[in-house]
Amino acid sequence: MIVDTHLHVIDQTALDYPWLAGVEPLNRNWTYDDYKLEARRAGIDATFHMEVDVAPERIEDETAYVGTLADRPNSLIVAAIASCRPEDEGFPAYLERQQANPLVKGFRRVLHVMQDDLSEGARFRENIKLLAGTGLTFDLCVLPRQLDKAIALADLAPDVTFILDHCGVPDIAGDARQPWQDGIAELAKRPNVVAKVSGVVAYADAETWIADTLRPWVEHTIKSFGWDRVVWGSDWPVCTLGGGLMAWVAATHALLEGASEDERRKLLSENARRIWSL
């Protein structure tokens, strides 16, 4: 069975998502009910909700909303990765509030759509250090040209576990191997960073990709980080831009054909259960 570490629920009747206006294919409701049956059919038995970059004033509302989904009978949702703003002076108080919520297992501040120097600010960096000792992780969503920013954060806070989203967002459709390839190898030298094998179907050509199209990108990520520091995510509904959940799950199994059963279990479920103490 699979632990999906990257589900986005979009409910425009409950929350505000300013960025959706610029992404028309995703600009509608994508509900937990839409996801759950397909996920169960794919062999997913536990799911993390990943924050969806709601309007800043709705961040804590989003976490509360996810809590209502997790409280449903037989819900797949077992954890939430909450949005945060480490650049804000109110972050320490926010962190303290979230520590009281057992559903919250980590945080993410979307960086790949922000100015490159956001994570270099003194307040941002001091606040990231506050995660040390909390057991809470920090997801890094960066472009290949920003991998040096991820490396800097990992070095700055060696006692914090960082999760690199989407294999580092490679340009698969453009076959842009550099600076992605070297950046991944360098980042993987930091033992406090885990790579999430997710999202890649959205970065390939939606009309033509096959499993072997994704293979060099996924295999380089796994080879760099090793089987003990990789987890899996669907990135639903963003994965629908590249074929959907079932296509991505099928491609994942094809890509793992040469892996041992132990290696498969680590990527698909065991590492996630260990890292987040499920």
Tens place of pLDDT for every residue, the chain, 278 residues? 999 999 999 999 999 999 999 999 999 999 999 999 999 999 999 999 999 999 999 999 999 999 999 999 999 999 999 999 999 999 999 999 999 999 999 999 998 778 888 999 999 999 999 999 999 999 999 999 999 999 999 999 999 999 999 999 999 999 999 999 999 999 999 999 999 999 999 999 999 999 999 999 999 999 999 999 999 999 999 999 999 999 999 999 999 999 999 999 999 999 999 999 99
- Three-class SS of residue 91? helix
CA atoms within 13 A on the CB side of 176: 15
Q: What are phi and psi of 274, to 5 degrees?
A: -75, -50
Tell me which residue has tokens 């979307």. 110
As a whole number of angstroms, the distance between CA 62 and CA 59 comes to: 5
Give ∠ CA 140-183-197 in degrees, rounded to 5: 50
Q: How far is CA 267 from CA 208, 229, 256, in A?
A: 26, 8, 10
Pairwise CA distance, residues 111 & 145, whole Å: 12
Which residues sit opposite 47 in a β-bridge? Answer: 4, 77
Place of tokens 């997710």: 198
